[in-house]
């Protein structure tokens, strides 16, 4: 299990390093994120594959149907054993069925070892998961931050985050990933925590 970062220490750091975030720190309080259990990693990442280019409500309903089709639980074994036709009947595109079952196969044969994530760096996990068809960088970075609580992960391609940076710095256009990384160099090693505060603000807009 991943340890929970000292979010209080991170907030204190950001007060000094990013005074522009102080109003958000004051308004939203202590970050409540805690690491998800290892047993949940597969389903979380599989949901990321399923949810690509789908509205949240549609993807949630689809995951529920897939869970039923897989016998009540989404594990590597149940997903790989499921009839591809049955998974497609839930509304999952054939290519996503292939992605899902390939991911399950990689976990079962040990090519992907979620049990090792706790001991690996952000870069190591990112490189490993980017090799999985159907998993993109945004999905993996969101997993690193929200599920593993990696405090310095910055999903620089996230649309809501870009909108918040545009407002925060009064930029004429949405910033690109590289610009966001440059703007936040001084926020290391708490850029992920800063992103959480910006998302809270976006949710209140």
Q: For the stretch 33-61, what's the b/e string if a residue is b when 16 or more beta carbons lie within 10 angstroms of its beta carbon?
A: bebbebeebbbbbbbbbbbeeeeeeebee
Q: Look at residue 76 in the predicted model and tell me its pLDDT.
A: 97
Q: What is the DSSP letter of 173?
A: S
Q: Which value, to the nearest 10 degrees, does the dihedral of the CA atoms of residues 50, 53, 56, 62 take?
A: -30
Q: What is the mean pLDDT of residues 84-94?
A: 94
Q: Give pLDDT tens digits for 27-79.
A: 999 999 999 999 999 999 999 999 988 888 888 899 999 999 999 999 999 99
* Helix residue spans in the chain (DSSP H): 7-17, 22-28, 41-51, 56-69, 76-81, 84-89, 94-108, 122-130, 137-146, 159-168, 177-183, 191-204
Q: Hey, is 2 helix, strand or coil?
A: coil
Q: pTM of the full predicted structure?
A: 0.94
Average pLDDT over residues 133-155: 97
Mean pLDDT in residue range 157-179? 96
Q: Which fold has domain 38-146?
A: Endonuclease III; domain 1 (1.10.340)
- Structure tokens, 123: 């870069």
Q: From the centroid of its chain, how far is CA 59? A: 15
Domain ranges of the chain: 7-35+152-204, 38-146
Same fold, 7-35+152-204 and 38-146: no
What does 76-105 look like in DSSP terms, one character per residue? HHHHHHS-HHHHHHTT--HHHHHHHHHHHH
- Asked if pLDDT for residue 205 goes beyond 60, the answer is no
Q: What is the pLDDT of residues 100-136, one digit of tens each?
A: 999 999 999 999 999 999 999 999 999 999 999 999 9
Helix, strand, or coil here: 69?
Answer: helix
Q: Examine the pLDDT at 143 and tell me if it is beyond 90.
A: yes
From first CA to last CA, the distance across the chain in angstroms is 34
- Report the top-level CATH class of 7-35+152-204: mainly alpha
Determine contact, residues 140/126, Cβ cutoff 8 Å. Answer: yes
Mean pLDDT over each residue of the chain, to the nearest integer:
95
Q: Mean pLDDT across the stretch 71-89?
A: 95
91 preceded by cis ω (within 30°)?
no
Question: What's residue 2's pLDDT?
Answer: 80
């Amino acid at each position: 299990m991943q340890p929970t970062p000292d979010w209080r220490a991170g907030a204190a750091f950001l007060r000094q390093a990013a005074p522009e975030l102080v109003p958000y720190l004051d308004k939203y309080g202590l970050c409540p994120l805690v690491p998800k259990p290892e047993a949940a990693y597969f389903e979380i990442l599989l949901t990321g594959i399923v949810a690509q280019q789908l509205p949240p409500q549609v993807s949630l309903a689809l995951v529920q149907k897939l869970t039923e089709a897989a016998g009540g639980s989404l594990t590597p074994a149940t997903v790989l054993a499921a009839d591809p036709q049955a998974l497609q009947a839930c509304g999952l595109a054939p290519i996503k069925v292939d992605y899902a079952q390939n991911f399950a196969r990689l976990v079962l044969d040990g090519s992907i070892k979620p049990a090792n994530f706790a001991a690996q760096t952000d870069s190591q996990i990112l490189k490993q998961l980017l090799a999985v068809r159907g998993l993109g960088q945004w999905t993996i970075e969101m997993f690193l931050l929200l599920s593993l609580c990696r405090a310095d992960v910055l999903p620089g391609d996230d649309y809501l985050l870009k909108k918040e940076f545009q407002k925060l710095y009064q930029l004429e256009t949405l910033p690109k990933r590289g610009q966001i990384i440059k703007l936040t160099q001084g926020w290391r090693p708490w850029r992920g925590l800063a992103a959480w505060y910006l998302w809270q603000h976006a949710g209140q807009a």
